[in-house]
């Protein structure tokens, strides 16, 4: 099953705090509002001790306090308003960040193309898009508060130093070990929680695979064994969870205990200053009020532990966003239009590697314009890989692919989509209705074009039998595998283009329907070049030429009848049921108009 290995990769080092702080930029307006409110709140907190100290000293000196009391009341009201609006701004920042993060993540996943998406199983990507992205976005207001609290702590430390330098020294001596301890424990939480999330994703991947193969599991009677396989990461998941809570437990008592000690020492130093006449009672009050502000960053234990966990969540999202698409461009300004031509397709010295395996090795192949060429080879020979290269759904590691003499990597995506159409063995219909699915990516297609494409693909009859014809919602159109394939072919015909690539696109059809379809394609697509990844003898026999693929290279190019008569090894290719090799990229969803 496909996804298990992906989710079971070795955990990478969680990203630094810079990656978590970088999420603030996704909702800059709301984050700025939250920052302003937090700054006002903490700024008022820094001013209140000064005003309160003056009130106390004036009361003791029997002086008027009306002005200072009014100032104190104003500051308290301002703080209340800032806190209230800050909560609203925090929610807005969180939701805005989540929307932007998910949009960026989905866009990036699609931009990675076939090579990039194969690195992650679908269940793993869904986990990153939902839970991991949500928890990362929730951290944005807390990040803002933590940053501002750190600044306020520095301000309060400076204020303590101004009141009495001895208080500043006492604070540094007591707080520095706490900061180092907290940093160590937060790293432990992040590392353990990252392991926890990785094992949780592994379970999601296994479950997704099992659901996709539920009929096979049920038919084989292997349900209990699948349950064990799906839940096999549970011991590691439990271990990672226990390590996470052990670190949190250490934080819950060690940090508060140390904070009490720091407060006692600072207040003792300040009290001694009052007894010796070095400090006034008001200055003692100011020092007492500044101490919790100076310790504010360290005191936010719950927030900091949440950020440590959010850092692990963000790491899984950033890991995907950090991957760069492998596609490269031969020119700095790719052409938006494919120059006119008959549709000749050429592969020159093409090499494609997948992990430690060479799928195609210096392959050379010229597909004549207007011809139908079937690519034949054993399972894993590279047929699907070769098909993906034609429309640049995959880039070769070496060599070049040309359409009418123009390198495909010098063309824009739009130009390639207009020049090359695809039909796959397992098409996925996208859109609301059957019409939407057939015109997906080509919204200006007329009804006549849709009807013509359905006729060519031998789909017209069963589409007309649907409750609302082509306007039937896909959810209300139960389709067989063969009908899905014919709609996939019709979609490729609608897209037009001078080259049509069929990746075993008729494998689910019966012999009679396939024969009718082959005749319709020959007549309806006259003049269009066709490249077929063939697994069936009948498909190869109907092609003009066969490109025999073996060991990553073209062994021979000739009509099927010639190869069948002269090459026993060629006949042996069809001896077993052909299926896509483990090392070849597969395409279940067509990214033709992205």
Q: Which of 213, 206, 295, 285 has the alpha carbon at shortest distance from 259?
A: 295
The predicted structure's pLDDT at residue 114 = 61
pLDDT digits (tens, 9 = 90+) for 353-408: 877 888 899 999 999 998 889 899 888 788 888 988 988 888 888 999 999 989 98
User: How far from 267 is each of 165, 273, 282, 294, 305, CA to CA, in Å?
Assistant: 13, 10, 13, 13, 28
pLDDT at 348 over 90: yes
> Contacts for 267-273 with beta carbons within 8 Å, 24 or more apart?
267/291, 269/164, 269/166, 269/167, 269/170, 270/163, 270/164, 270/167, 273/164, 273/166
Instruction: Please report the pLDDT score of residue 548 as a whole number.
Output: 92
CATH number for the domain formed by residue range(s) 4-8+16-321:
1.20.1560.10
Find the mean pLDDT for residues 173-184: 85
Count other Cβ atoms within 10 Å, centred on residue 517: 23
Q: pLDDT band for position 299 (50/70/90)?
A: confident
Give yes or no for residue 592 having a pLDDT over 60. no
Cα distance between residue 196 and residue 185, in whole Å: 16
Among candidates 459, 366, 361, 351, which has minimal Cα distance to 404? 366
473 three-state secondary structure? strand
**pLDDT given for residue 327 in this prediction:** 60
What is the domain partition of the chain in residue ranges? 4-8+16-321, 371-382+423-573
Backbone angles phi, psi at 9, to 5 degrees: -65, 160
For 448, residues 6+ apart whose C-beta sits below 8 A from its C-beta are none
Angle between helices 28-60 and 281-294 (to 10 degrees): 160
Q: What is the pLDDT of residue 366?
A: 93
- Neighbouring-strand partners of residue 406: 403
Q: What pLDDT sits at residue 17?
A: 61
- Higher per-residue pLDDT: 565 or 13: 565
- Range among 60-64, 121-125, 568-572 with highest mean pLDDT value: 568-572
Q: Are 389 and 399 in contact (CB under 8 A)?
A: no
Q: Within 10 Å of residue 280's Cβ, how many Cβ atoms?
A: 17
Indicate the pLDDT class of residue 116, thresholds 50, 70 and 90.
low
In angstroms, the CA 52 to CA 46 distance is 11
% of the chain surpassing 70 pLDDT: 87
CB contact at 8 A, 180 and 254 = no
Q: Is 50 exceeded by the pLDDT of residue 3? A: no
Residues of the chain above pLDDT 90, percent: 8
Which residue, among 103, 105, 589, 579, has the nearest Cα to 393 in the 3D structure?
A: 589
Please determine, for residue 495, whether its predicted confidence score (pLDDT) is greater than 60.
yes
- The CA distance from 40 to 46, in Å, is 10
pLDDT over 60 at 12, yes or no:
no
Of 324 and 239, which is predicted with more confidence?
Answer: 239
Between CA 476 and CA 515 the distance in angstroms is 29
Alpha helices per DSSP H over 213-233: 214-220, 223-230
Mean pLDDT of 217-244: 87
CA distance 535 to 530: 15
Q: Is the pLDDT of residue 558 over 90?
A: yes
CA pair distance 506, 490, nearest whole angstrom: 12
Q: Which residues of 19-56 are buried (b: 16+ CB within 10 A; e: fewer)?
A: bbbebbebbeebbebbbbbbbbbbbbbbebbbbbbbbb
Rounded distance, CA 104 to CA 313, Å?
16
Which tokens go with 135? 């928890």
pLDDT (tens digit, 9 = 90+) per residue, 18-48?
667 777 778 888 888 888 888 888 778 778 8
pLDDT level of residue 524 (50, 70, 90 thresholds): low
Cβ-contact 457, 517 below 8 angstroms:
yes
CATH T-level assignment (fold) for domain 371-382+423-573:
Rossmann fold (3.40.50)
Tell me 508's DSSP state: T
Q: Would you say 415 and 338 are in contact if contact means Cβ atoms under 8 Å apart?
A: yes
pLDDT over 80 (residue 545) = yes
Lowest mean pLDDT among 58-67, 123-132, 532-541: 58-67
**Which has the minimum average pLDDT: 101-105, 137-141, 323-327, 448-452?**
323-327
Confidence of residue 557 (pLDDT cuts 50, 70, 90): very high
Least Cα distance to 361 among 554, 535, 501 occurs for 554
Q: Is the pLDDT assigned to residue 505 strictly greater than 80?
A: no
pLDDT(186) > 80: yes
Give the chain's mean pLDDT: 80
**pLDDT per residue as tens digits for the range 397-415:** 899 999 998 998 888 887 8
pLDDT band per the 50, 70, 90 thresholds, residue 507 = low
Mean pLDDT (whole number) for 454-470: 85
pLDDT at 2: 39
Contact 341, 537 (CB under 8 A): no
Encoded tokens for 511: 């012999």
> Has residue 296 got a pLDDT over 80?
no
From the number of C-beta atoms within 10 Å of its C-beta (0-12, 13-18, 19+), residue 520 rates as: middle
Residue 493 has pLDDT above 50, yes or no: yes
């Amino acid at each position: 099953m496909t996804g298990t290995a992906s989710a079971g990769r070795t955990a990478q080092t969680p990203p630094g705090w810079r990656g978590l702080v970088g999420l603030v930029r996704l909702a800059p307006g709301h984050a700025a509002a939250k920052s302003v409110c937090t700054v006002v709140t903490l700024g008022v907190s820094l001013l209140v001790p000064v005003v309160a100290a003056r009130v106390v000293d004036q009361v003791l000196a029997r002086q008027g306090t009306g002005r200072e009391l009014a100032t104190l009341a104003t500051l308290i009201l301002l703080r209340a308003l800032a806190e209230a609006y800050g909560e609203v701004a925090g929610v807005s920042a969180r939701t805005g960040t989540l929307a932007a993060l998910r949009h960026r993540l989905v866009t990036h996943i699609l931009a990675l193309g076939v090579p990039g998406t194969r690195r992650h199983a679908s269940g793993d990507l869904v986990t990153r898009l939902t839970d991991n992205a949500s928890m990362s976005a929730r951290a944005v207001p807390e990040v803002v508060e933590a940053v501002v609290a750190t600044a306020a702590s520095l301000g309060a430390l400076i204020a303590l130093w101004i009141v009495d330098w001895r208080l500043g020294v006492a604070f540094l001596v007591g707080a520095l070990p706490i900061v180092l301890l907290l940093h160590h424990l937060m790293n432990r939480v992040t590392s353990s929680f990252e392991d926890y999330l990785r094992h949780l994703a592994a379970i999601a991947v296994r479950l997704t695979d099992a659901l996709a193969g539920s009929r096979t599991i049920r038919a084989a009677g292997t349900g209990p064994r699948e349950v064990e396989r799906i839940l096999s990461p549970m011991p590691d998941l439990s271990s990672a969870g226990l390590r996470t809570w052990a670190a949190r437990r250490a934080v819950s008592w060690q940090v508060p205990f140390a904070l009490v000690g720091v407060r006692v020492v600072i207040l003792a130093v300040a009290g001694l200053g009052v007894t010796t006449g070095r400090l006034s009672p008001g200055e003692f009050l100011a020092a007492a009020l500044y101490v919790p502000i100076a310790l504010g960053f360290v005191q936010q234990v719950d927030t900091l532990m949440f950020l440590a966990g959010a850092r692990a969540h963000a790491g899984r999202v950033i890991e995907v966003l950090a991957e760069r698409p492998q596609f490269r461009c031969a020119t700095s300004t790719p052409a938006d239009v494919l120059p006119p031509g008959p549709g000749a397709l050429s592969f020159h010295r093409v090499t494609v590697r997948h992990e430690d395996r060479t799928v195609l090795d210096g392959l050379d192949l010229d597909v004549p314009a207007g011809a139908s060429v079937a690519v034949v080879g054993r399972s894993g020979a590279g047929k699907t890989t070769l098909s993906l290269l034609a429309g640049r759904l995959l880039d070769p590691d070496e060599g070049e692919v040309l359409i009418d003499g123009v390198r495909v990597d010098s063309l824009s995506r739009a130009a390639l989509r207009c020049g090359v159409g695809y039909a796959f063995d397992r098409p996925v219909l996208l859109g609301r209705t059957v019409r939407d699915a057939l015109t997906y990516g080509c919204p200006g297609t007329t009804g006549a074009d849709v009807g013509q494409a359905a006729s060519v693909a031998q789909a017209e009859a069963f589409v007309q039998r649907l409750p609302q014809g082509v306007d039937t919602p896909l959810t209300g159109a139960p389709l067989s595998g063969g009908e899905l394939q014919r709609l996939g072919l019709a979609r490729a015909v609608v897209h037009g283009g001078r080259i049509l690539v069929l990746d075993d696109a008729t494998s689910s059809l019966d012999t009679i329907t396939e024969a009718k379809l082959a005749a319709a394609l020959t007549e309806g697509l006259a003049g269009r070049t066709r490249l077929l990844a063939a697994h069936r003898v009948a498909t190869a026999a109907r092609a003009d030429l066969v490109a025999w693929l073996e060991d990553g290279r073209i062994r021979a190019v000739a009509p099927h009848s010639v190869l069948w008569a002269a090459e026993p090894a060629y006949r042996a290719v069809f001896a077993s049921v052909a299926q896509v090799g483990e090392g070849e990229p597969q395409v279940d969803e067509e990214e033709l108009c992205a």
